[in-house]
Amino acid sequence: MILQKTALLLTIIGGINWGLVGAFDWNVLNILSFAPILISIVEIIIALAACYVLYAYFIETANPAQK
């Protein structure tokens, strides 16, 4: 349960960040510009969280009775 909530939160944060990039050309992750590798790691974690949310969604819709 905590994994699902954390993954959903990271996905929402990633979506908001992409919205800010598209609307204002402002990347929130630039606050980590002192460590470019850290930006890459955070982006990878957010992408993995989005994949997990997508996976969990399809598993739940395929088996709605299982919880």
Residue 52 to residue 8: CA distance in whole angstroms: 9
Model confidence at 63: pLDDT above 90? no
Lowest mean per-residue pLDDT among 1-10, 30-39, 54-63: 54-63
pLDDT exceeding 90 applies to what percent of the chain?
79
Average pLDDT of every residue of the chain = 91
- pLDDT (tens digit per residue) in 6-24: 999 999 999 999 999 999 9
Q: Concatenated DSSP letters for the chain?
A: -HHHHHHHHHHHHHHHHHHHHHHHS--GGGGGTT-HHHHHHHHHHHHHHHHHHHHHHHHHHH-TT--
Model confidence at 67: pLDDT above 60? no
Query: What global pTM score does this model have?
Result: 0.82
